[in-house]
Amino acid sequence: MRRTLLAVAVLAAVGPAVADDAPHTLNIAPQSVNDALKVLAAETHLQIFSDGEALKGKTTAGLNGVYTAREALQQLLVGTGLSYRFTAENAVAVKAAENGSDATTTMPAVKVVGRYRFDPNSPDNPGYARTNSATASKTDTPIMQTPMSIKVVPKTVLDDQQAVVFDDAVTRNVSGVQRNFEFGDLYQGFIVRGFSLGANIYRDGLRQHAGYFEPAGMERIEVLKGAAAMLYGRTQPGGLVNYVTKKPRDEAHYSLQQQFGSFDMYRTTVDATGPVNEDKSLLYRLNVAYLSQNSFRDYNENERIYVAPSLTWRISDRTEATIQLEHQHDDYVMDFGIPALGNRPAPLPKGFYVGDEQLRLSSMDSNQIATNLSHRFNDHWKIEHKFNWHQWDHQFNSIFPAGSLNGDNRTINRALTTGPTDRETFATSLDLAGEFETYGLRHKLLIGGDYFHLKTNTYDNHWTYGAIPALDVFEPNNHLIDMNAVNAIPYDFWWKEKDEWYGVYAQDQITLWDKVHFLIGGRYDILSYGTGCCAATSQISDHEDNRLNPRFGIVYQPWQWLSVYGNYVESIGSNNGLTPTNANNKPELGEQYEAGLKTEFFDGRFTSNLAYYHLTKENMLTGVPGLPYRIPIGAARSQGVELDLTGEITDYLSMVGTYAYADARVTKDNGFAPWGLASKQGKRLPNVPEHSGSLWLTYHSDEHLKVGAGMFAQGKRAGDNDNTYDLPGFVRLDAMVSYSWNLSRSKLTTQFNVNNLLDKEYYRGSRASDRTGALPGEPISFIGSVRVDY
């Protein structure tokens, strides 16, 4: 048979090697291989020579997405029985595969990396949807087979929205989540399904305590709805927020970004990763961020330094160890918001500041060491050990409101807090996970244990009332403080806190007929906790509780795209605190019933979760106005419906959509009239709107231009525990545009975001225990960015 080499394309212009050139947006329909190669050659300027006889009768499934020339060629030849070999930098020969041919002539294993054909859970996936999560089960389980509500916010969404603040990334993209505004906005916290999570944020599945968390080191954020105590110990019944850190990678990548925005905001980030040695057994990553900004709030500013190096050692093909270091320093101003007047926040300028210019700048230093050691015995069994040490030091310098507005409705009394607080946590876990079959049932078994220890020491502090002049809120004078008089005040406040537990747990995920998935688990905790206040000689009086927390769930998956699920879970909470009689509170207890539907379309590129939940909480605590105490008010119930939609609607249109209906109320009030607390029975839980939702859309017809817009809305919310005033509802509009250029092996991206496009006045949240402060939302603001990746 005569064999003829047919040139199906010629190079249109001389250029650099195209086999690994910049990516191209390609849309090649299913057709004959011969015709498809012609299209590929025309689009990529790749010279393709082929054996005409070998191509006869061969067809390809085509492709649609962003590929380099080599990747596109691999994808087009999948399943055709053809191989290729590069004969020059920009020329390739395609012919029939031969048995025993060497690696240079046989097509290598295909790894599809087009925009819409990525591994959906790869860090490189530019889409919004993720199909797997380990947060809900501590095993890498498809979300469709997990009987819990879990929402993943990937780095792509954070980048598109330029989410430089961690809590914005969560509240804008996850249904049923609000910002928790505590004393002076001291730390980042959330309200999930009506209940505050306190200061507890999880990092790679291990609990931290208090702080502000820098998004530059985050790969994605995962929010688990509902009680998670079976796996994570003392957690609040609403759920938990866990962020997954960036890890070292075996392919070199470098990124430098400069952001600039309203209120003199400047932020620089660096992300560098790659192999240290040739065999790629040693990998590194370095994330750095620097932030400097003022604010629309008077006398408010922030400066941050963040450095996070990490190293991974591939000890063998089955054993891997990673160590991560992290240091973060923040200089910032504690913000107590705007006091209430009548049934609304007082009609004051957005910039109103209750403090004083002489005593306003606080600081935080956070240091972490985290390790992860894993060993895979075989393809079915794995053991993993995690450890995290977190030290958080805070230096208070602030004036705060000492109660609500006075009877004249224009002056407010003030107090001061100064001095250090040191917090230290240790968290560790050991998990053994394996897969096996018994009598036709597939099992995914998890057996593990963990330990957590928190120690807080507030010492040599001022918590002083009466020494600070009252402030006229309508004509504020923020220059009344005499620092010599402040420094002469004797120390009068000390606080100690301890929280410790040991937990063991077991969980089995059972699959029957490939359609029914059961989750059965239980955990036993030994808890020790205590608080001491308020003299230097105060000692912690230890208290101990033991608790068994079960969890049951079921998923029925009649088709691959649909799952029907339900769960029942119990939890033991993490809030204790001290009563005015120096008694320690019992832990809060939670119980949840949930049912819902999940869908997954377009090969996992578009997902949804619709859930109904009924959640109760006993031994619920509330703060005492003007004092650092917490007392149990009884019980509360939250029930509602949540909807999350995430992914690619078309090849060019991506979206994140959320909606939540929440009915969250106090159902039982023990009554504490001696401390001036009115009955709260039937009251709505603060900062929880009945209706809330968001929508974010981006359109990207090619790899260069992307435009996006979205809205974020919340209904009217109770401003405090007693429901004496409300935060008004609002709708905020945002928008973005970005453009990228491919420069040899580099990529330059410019981006511009506008937040609160219509300059809507709104409030992010309020302090729940009293009427002293509602935190205004940011007015119209801009963020620009220039980023280079190579």
Res. 4: pLDDT tops 70: no
Distance CA 484, CA 482 (A): 5
Residues belonging to the chain: 790
DSSP lists the bridge partners of residue 409 as none
* 104 has pLDDT over 60: no
Separation between Cα atoms, residue 105 and residue 471, nearest integer Å: 81
Q: How far apart are CA 324 and CA 370, in angstroms?
A: 5
Higher pLDDT, 110 or 626: 626
Write down the pLDDT at residue 623. Answer: 65
Indicate the range of 55-64, 291-300, 573-582, 583-592 predicted with least confidence: 573-582
Mean pLDDT of the chain: 88
Rounded Cα gap, residues 549 and 147, in angstroms: 17
CA–CA separation, 179 and 189 (whole Å): 6
Instruction: Count Cβ neighbours within 10 Å for each residue of 521-553 and write b for 16 or more, e otherwise.
Output: bebebebebbbbbbeeeeebeebeeebebebbb
Cα distances from 790 to residues 118, 474, 739, in angstroms, run 19, 53, 16
Query: Would you say 752 and 783 are in contact if contact means Cβ atoms under 8 Å apart?
Result: yes
Q: Greater confidence, 188 or 449? A: 449
Predicted pLDDT of residue 155:
94
In this prediction, residue 575 carries a pLDDT of 58
DSSP assignment string, 181-238: --GGG-S--EEETTEE-TT--EETTEE--S----GGGEEEEEEEES--HHHHSS--TT
CA 86 – CA 81 distance, rounded (Å): 17
Instruction: Assess whether the previous peptide bond of 533 is cis (omega < 30° from 0).
Output: no
**How many whole angstroms separate alpha carbon 646 and alpha carbon 651?**
14
Mark out the alpha helices in 343-492 (DSSP H runs).
Answer: 483-487
Q: Is the pLDDT of residue 3 over 70?
A: no
Condensed to tens digits (0 to 9), the pLDDT of residues 635-658 reads 999 999 999 999 999 989 999 999
DSSP, collapsed to helix, strand or coil, labels residue 598 as strand
Rounded CA-CA distance 141/433 in Å is: 12
Q: Over the Cα atoms of the chain, what is R_g?
A: 29
Residue 49 is predicted with a pLDDT of 81
pLDDT at 50: 80
Q: Which has the closest alpha carbon to 525: 511, 505, 541?
A: 505
214 vs 464: which has the higher pLDDT: 214
pLDDT at 230 over 50: yes
pLDDT of residue 677: 63
């605590």: which residue's tokens?
621
pLDDT of amino acid 562: 96
Q: What are the start-end ranges of the E strands in 124-181?
A: 132-133, 141-142, 150-154, 177-179
| Domains with residue ranges and CATH for the chain | 5-96 (3.55.50.30), 244-410+431-789 (2.40.170.20)
pTM: 0.83
Q: Give the residues across from 739 on adjacent strands.
A: 705, 750
pLDDT at site 583 = 62
- pLDDT for 41: 85
**Residue 634 pLDDT grade (very low, low, confident, very high; cuts 50, 70, 90):** confident
Residue 563 has pLDDT above 80, yes or no: yes
Determine the pLDDT at residue 10: 30
* pLDDT for the residue numbered 54: 79
DSSP-derived pairing of the beta strands 91-96 and 47-51: parallel
pLDDT band at 99; cut points 50, 70, 90: low
Tracing tokens 């939702």 back to the chain, one arrives at 693
pLDDT at residue 15 greater than cutoff 50: no
The residues, ordered by sequence, that sit 6+ positions from 730 with a Cβ below 8 Å of its Cβ are 713, 714, 760, 761, 762, 763, 777
Residue 116 in this model has a pLDDT that exceeds 70: no
Interval 313-326: pLDDT, tens: 999 999 999 999 99
Confidence of residue 266 (pLDDT cuts 50, 70, 90): very high
- Quick one: average pLDDT of 340-366? 94
Does 258 have pLDDT greater than 70? yes
Q: Higher confidence at residue 628 or residue 255?
A: 255
Confidence of residue 14 (pLDDT cuts 50, 70, 90): very low
Is the pLDDT assigned to residue 378 strictly greater than 60? yes
| Token couple for 112 | 């599809």
Query: How many CA atoms does the CB half-sphere of 578 hold within 13 Å?
Result: 20
Beta bridge partners of 393: 365, 422
Distances from the Cα of 105 to the Cαs of 32, 38, 84, 92, 655, in angstroms? Answer: 22, 21, 6, 10, 42
Does pLDDT of 334 surpass 60? yes
Mean pLDDT check: name the lowest of 174-188, 267-281, 412-426: 174-188
Question: What pLDDT was estimated at residue 633?
Answer: 74
Number of Cβ atoms within 10 Å of the Cβ of 746: 12
Which pLDDT tens digit goes with each residue over 450-495?
999 999 999 999 888 878 899 999 999 999 988 888 888 889 888 8
**pLDDT score of 516 more than 50:** yes
